């Protein structure tokens, strides 16, 4: 699962990202956290970033994009990630698209945690974070049991240096000018979903999980993304702040990079195709089961027609048979009559013959 959490400072991106980490077991990648870690470690990168952070401005893209590129290429991010606080401008979003295209793992969802500006000041000025485990509290909304101490590890709670009213004001301004345009950027890609960020943190988390499971296939949300087997992709071209980064183009980069893109796309395609295949197999099985019935159903009208034809023929033939029978009967009767007639004639002839003989005999006797 590869998602971006969008939202104003204090909207709850960090809070929700931590809950998603627990649920989906993929890392939260927060540029703010990475920058703060660099500042407190006193690295060169941290020193360069600090001034912009204290002023509530965006840190330059060359720092942030390099950091993101390194973080995304770490093994735990191969199974997916939750980006929190990055991208923060159109050039950063375009650079991210290019980076992910080279890895063959495009972004799946941009989730906007929507909170009214009037709510944000109290959330940010009241925020306290455990120095030890990073657990977050809010003195107004979710205070610790013991003031200044973490409920989980008893670590010391601290307030972020940029959580003062002046810097918060600047951060909100920068958000409106540079980050809010990403809402339409992702809407245009049909990847934007909005969740109301007010109410209980658990309710918001449930709503986010619903959106994730509706928008991203449940299996791909839980299962690891396909890992490219090719060498790591080339570093993205670093862009100066506020300058337009190269437009996202799938398959750009080295030949190896292109192969990676294709291979992983094929993997993703296969993954997507798997449920389709299952459905197709099921359909086939159902069709197979239904086949004899279907054949019978198909044959039924033919059978019916044949029977009808036979019946009609029989009906047609019936009178012929009857005529034949009558004729037969007539013939028989005729024969009988004929025989009778013959018999009568024979008898008459016999009688006649006998009479003639008698006459002849009488004559003979008379002559004698
Ligand atoms: P970053 O650390 O990212 O700060 P942000 O964007 O200003 O956001 P926040 O972390 O202040 O707020 P959040 O939305 O995470 O809210 P949270 O969950 O903590 O960036 C800091 C600075 O680093 C930037 O100003 C910039 O200089 C630099 N930077 C970072 N990324 C950069 C980039 N990509 N490019 C350039 N520069 C970059 O919650 C806030 C409070 O609200 C907490 O107390 C919490 O307990 C409370 N809360 C949360 N949810 C609720 C709720 N539902 N009800 C009541 N309270 C709640
Ligand atoms: Mg945060």
DSSP codes joined into one string, 23-59? HH---EEEHHHHHHHHHHHT-HHHHHHHHHHHTTPPP
- Residue 252 confidence class, pLDDT cut points 50, 70, 90: very low
Q: What is the pLDDT of residues 42-65, one digit of tens each?
A: 999 999 999 999 999 999 999 999
- Residue 351 confidence class, pLDDT cut points 50, 70, 90: low
367 is catalytic: no
For residue 316, give every residue at least 6 positions away whose Cβ sits within 8 Å of its Cβ, in sequence order, or none: none
Cα 234 to middle of ligand 2, angstroms: 29
What is the reported pLDDT for 215? Answer: 87
102 is catalytic: no
Cα 155 to middle of ligand 1, angstroms: 21
Cα 152 to middle of ligand 2, angstroms: 19
Would you say 31 and 70 are in contact if contact means Cβ atoms under 8 Å apart? no
242: left (phi > 0), else alpha (psi -120 to 50), else beta?
Answer: left
Average pLDDT, the chain: 76
Q: Mean pLDDT over residues 308-312, rounded?
A: 60
Q: Which ligand has the shortest distance to the CA of 163?
A: 1
The single residue of 2, 13, 128, 193 carrying the catalytic annotation is 13
> Which comes out higher in pLDDT, residue 87 or 297?
87
What is the reported pLDDT for 149? Answer: 97
Would you say 35 and 53 are in contact if contact means Cβ atoms under 8 Å apart? yes
171 is catalytic: yes
Q: Does the CB atom of residue 141 touch ligand 1 within 6 A?
A: yes
- Domain ranges for the chain: 2-27+74-114+179-222, 264-367
> Percent of the chain having pLDDT more than 90?
58
The single residue of 71, 123, 128, 171 carrying the catalytic annotation is 171
| Structural domain 2-27+74-114+179-222, CATH architecture | 3-Layer(aba) Sandwich (3.40)
The single residue of 123, 127, 128, 193 carrying the catalytic annotation is 127
The single residue of 2, 88, 102, 193 carrying the catalytic annotation is 88
Would you say 186 and 104 are in contact if contact means Cβ atoms under 8 Å apart? no
- Residue 236 confidence class, pLDDT cut points 50, 70, 90: very low
- Residue 216 confidence class, pLDDT cut points 50, 70, 90: confident
Cα 106 to middle of ligand 1, angstroms: 24
Q: What is the pLDDT of residues 200-209, one digit of tens each?
A: 999 999 999 9
Q: What is the pLDDT of residues 271-282, one digit of tens each?
A: 333 444 444 555
Q: Does the CB atom of residue 88 touch ligand 1 within 6 A?
A: yes
- Residue 140 confidence class, pLDDT cut points 50, 70, 90: very high
Q: Mean pLDDT over residues 287-301, rounded?
A: 49
Element (H, E) at 168: helix 165-174
Q: Mean pLDDT over residues 245-257, rounded?
A: 29
Q: Which residues have C-beta under 5 Å from ligand 2, the single-atom ion?
A: 14
Q: Does the CB atom of residue 85 touch ligand 1 within 6 A?
A: yes
Q: Which atom of ligand 1 is nearest to the CA of 68?
A: 34
What is the reported pLDDT for 56? Answer: 97
What is the reported pLDDT for 251? Answer: 29
What is the reported pLDDT for 209? Answer: 96
Q: Which of 51-55, 185-189, 324-328 has the lowest mean pLDDT?
A: 324-328
Q: Which of 43-47, 157-161, 292-296, 301-305 has the lowest mean pLDDT?
A: 292-296
- Residue 177 confidence class, pLDDT cut points 50, 70, 90: very high
How far apart CA 268 and CA 256 sit, in angstroms, is 18
Q: Which of 111-115, 155-159, 307-311 has the lowest mean pLDDT?
A: 307-311
Q: Does the CB atom of residue 7 touch ligand 1 within 6 A?
A: yes
Cα 193 to middle of ligand 2, angstroms: 19
């Amino acid at each position: 699962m590869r998602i971006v959490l969008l939202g104003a400072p204090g909207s709850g991106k960090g809070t929700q990202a931590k809950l998603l980490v627990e649920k989906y077991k993929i890392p939260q990648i927060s540029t703010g956290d990475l920058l703060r870690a660099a500042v407190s470690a006193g690295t060169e990168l941290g020193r360069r970033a600090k001034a912009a952070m204290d002023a509530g401005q965006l840190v330059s893209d060359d720092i942030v994009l390099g950091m993101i590129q390194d973080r995304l290429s770490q093994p735990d991010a191969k199974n997916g990630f939750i980006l929190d606080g990055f991208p923060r401008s159109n050039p950063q979003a375009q650079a991210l698209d290019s980076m992910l295209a080279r890895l063959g793992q495009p972004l799946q969802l941009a989730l906007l945690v929507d909170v009214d500006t009037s709510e944000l000041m109290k959330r940010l000025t009241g925020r306290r974070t455990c120095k030890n485990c990073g657990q977050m509290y809010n003195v107004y909304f979710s205070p610790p049991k013991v003031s200044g101490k973490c409920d989980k590890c008893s670590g010391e709670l601290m307030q972020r240096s940029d959580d003062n009213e002046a810097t918060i004001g600047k951060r909100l301004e920068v958000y409106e000018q540079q980050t809010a345009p990403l809402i339409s950027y992702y809407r245009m890609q049909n990847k934007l979903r909005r969740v109301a960020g007010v109410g209980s943190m658990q309710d918001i988390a449930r709503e986010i999980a619903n959106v994730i499971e509706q928008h991203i296939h449940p299996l791909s949300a839980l299962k690891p993304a396909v890992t490219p087997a090719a060498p790591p992709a080339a570093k993205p071209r670093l862009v100066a702040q506020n300058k337009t980064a190269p437009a996202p183009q799938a398959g750009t980069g080295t030949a190896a990079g292109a192969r990676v893109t294709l291979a992983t796309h094929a993997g993703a395609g296969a993954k997507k195709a798997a449920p389709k295949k299952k459905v197709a197999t099921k359909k086939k099985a159902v069709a197979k089961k239904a086949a004899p019935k279907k054949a019978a159903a198909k044959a039924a009208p033919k059978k019916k027609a044949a029977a009808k034809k036979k019946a009609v023929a029989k009906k047609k033939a019936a009178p012929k048979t009857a005529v034949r029978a009558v004729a037969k009967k007539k013939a028989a009767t005729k024969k009988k009559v004929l025989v009778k007639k013959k018999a009568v004639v024979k008898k008459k002839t016999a009688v006649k013959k006998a009479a003639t003989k008698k006459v002849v005999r009488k004559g003979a006797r008379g002559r004698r």
